[in-house]
Structures are given as C-alpha cells and as structure tokens.
Amino acid sequence: MKKIAVITSGGDCPGMNAAIRAVVRVAMANQIEVWGIKNGYAGMIANDMTQLDSRSVGDIIHKGGTFLGTARSEEFKTLTGRQKAVANLQAHGIEGLVVIGGDGSLTGAKLLAELGIKFVGLPGTIDNDIWGTDYTIGFDTAVNTALDAINKLRDTASAHGRVMLVEVMGRACGWIALTAGLAGGAEIILIPEQPFSSENICRQLLESRAKGKQYSIVVVAEGAGSAIDLGKVISAKTGLETRVSVLGHIQRGGAPTVSDRLLASRLAERAVRDLLQGKSDIMIGYRNNQCVEVPITDAISKKKDIDPELYRLSDVLSQ
C-alpha cells in the first residue's frame, strides 16, 4: 500500500485532530502518501480531498473539533452515493482508509469495503457507545466538561436549596450520565439502561429532604427522556423548587484531555500499521490498557452495556 486517506465522520469529538495527526505522521514515517478527506462521507462523494504531510497537522493536537470537517451524509447511505465515493478514491489511487467516527461511520465504512476499499476504523464519539473498546475517543473530554458543569450547578443549587436537573448527551446510552454523575456526586442518575418512574424519583427527592439533604443534583441522560419535562413533573408533584440545564453541544467541544490525546494517538498508530499490513474490516479498540483489533461486524452490531458496578456504586454513594 502506497497511498492512504484519513476521514472524520459523524458527530465530531475532541481528540479527532490528535488522531488525524498521528495517522499522518505514522504514515509519513513509513513513506506512505496520505490524503485528508474533507467533511466526512459528503466530501468523499464530492471529491473534496487534499494531500497532507507532517506540517499540515502541526498545531492541532490541542484543538477540539476536526480540522478536516465532518458531516452526516444521507447520500452516502445509498449505493449510488457510495459508488461515487469509491470512484473518487480510486481515481486518486487511494488504497486504504482510516475512518474516525462513531457507529454510523463505521457501518458506512464496512459497506465501502464491500465495494473494494480497505479500511481500519477508530472509535470517535463522545458517547462511548461502541462495543469492543473500553473508551471511545472524545468520551473523557466530554465527561470532564459535563463534570465541570455539574460542579458549577452544585454551587447554585446549594445556595438556593433547589433540585437541579442536568441533561447530558449520549444518544441511546447512559455512559456520559453515569460517569459524570458518579464523579459529580449526583443524588439521582437517570439512564436509558435502567428503567425508572417519575413517581419514584419524586418520592426519593422528598425522602432525601426529610433525611436532611438541602438540595439535589439529578443527572439525566438524553436517551432517558427530557430533563425539561421531568423537571415540570418534579416541581408540580413535590413542590420543590426545580431548575433544569440542558448542556447540549458544549459537551462536544473543547481541548481534548490527556487521556483522549493519548488514546487517539495510540489507536491511530495501530490503525496505520494494520492497514499497511493489508488488514481491513476492523476497528482498533482499547481494552485493558492495550490496543486490540475488533472485527467491524462486532463493533457495529453488538451493544455495549454500561458498567453495572458503576451504577451500583453511584447508588450507594448517593445515600
């Protein structure tokens, strides 16, 4: 393999730039030409790509977002769209791809491979919802952003004796809520993986007041329901003064943490090495402090569960 390309796709996450930088520099160290595809699969279809070298990826390791741009492309979900993309790659002589993105992007990459393009995927999403890796790139930064917000909300919740609901991202999974909630000392953590009823939440909040708690932090994963709606129910049923913050896309930005930069750099190095050995249809994950190869079908089809021990601990510690 003499020419490869790197692409970021789907929701951006902090650490994507560190991953691109590592892909480019490892390729250069192996005398491989690297191209960068702009704006995800949309750019692949539009033939929007540019050659990169070590200097093109200077001054980005500390930046959130992705300097290549990213997108969600409906056209790529069609066979015609993917055929256009493959024709563009072949016209450039690109033989292999490093795809940095979430479950959707990796599903797209697998379909591309069926049309003759080799790829190695990297798990890039703040949601930590990809099977086969302990952590995804971007998760640690997002969780720290959420934690910072929870810390600040705690100050004002405490000052007023209020119930403070914080809605965090995570799509259909509760990893961000559970991790930031546990680290932030939340009284209640609501995640899609654990059923709950608003009646029980209200009862729990009133009981904790009766036991002497002056205020409450409730972390709600977006996949568990709307914090705004739940806040209205709590306020109406308990009479407790309630406020809601929806953190939203703040969680997607910011300088990547040490963990995310290291994770991105290590996974990217392994991805390029594997691609150069002719491997394809795998994702590089990180398990037990090691890079591991994960068959792409497992990564995209198996459901990653939350850690039940973390959930149990958060419950014990919130009493």
Ligand X SMILES: O=P(O)(O)OC[C@H]1O[C@](O)(COP(=O)(O)O)[C@@H](O)[C@@H]1O
Ligand Y SMILES: Nc1ncnc2c1ncn2[C@@H]1O[C@H](COP(=O)(O)OP(=O)(O)O)[C@@H](O)[C@H]1O
The CB density around residue 245, as the number of other CB atoms within 10 Å, is 18
3 is in an annotated binding site: no
Q: Does 252 contact ligand X by CB under 6 A?
A: yes
Nearest of 4, 246, 270 to residue 137 by alpha carbon: 270
Out of 171, 261, 270, 304, the only residue in the binding site for ligand X (CB under 6 A) is 171
Tell which positions 102-161 bind ligand X, by CB under 6 A.
102, 125-127
Out of 36, 102, 121, 124, the only residue in the binding site for Mg ion (CB under 5 A) is 102
154 is in an annotated binding site: yes
Helices and strands, counts by H and E, the chain: 11, 11
Q: Whole-number minimum distance, CB 73 to Mg ion, in Å?
A: 14
| Active-site choice (12, 127, 129, 260) | 127
- 237 burial via Cβ count (<10 Å: 0-12, 13-18, 19+): middle
Among ligand Y, Mg ion, ligand X, none, partner that 39 touches (CB below 5 to 8 angstroms by kind) = none
Contact 174, 193 (CB under 8 A): yes
Distance CA 84, CA 81 (A): 5
Enumerate residues 6+ apart whose C-beta is below 8 A from 306.
173, 174, 175, 178, 191, 193
105 is in an annotated binding site: yes
AA identity, residue 315: D
Tell which positions 229-268 bind Mg ion, by CB under 5 A.
none
Q: Whole-number minimum distance, CB 268 to ligand Y, in Å?
A: 17
Name which of 185 and 253 has its Cβ closer to ligand X: 253
Q: Does 187 contact ligand X by CB under 6 A?
A: no
Nearest of 107, 108, 117, 144 to residue 15 by alpha carbon: 144
Tell which positions 89-108 bind ligand X, by CB under 6 A.
102
Q: Could you list the residues that contact ligand Y (CB under 6 A)?
A: 9-11, 41, 72-73, 76-77, 101-105, 107-108, 111, 125
- Give residues in contact with Mg ion (CB under 5 A): 102-103
Provide the annotated active-site residues. 127
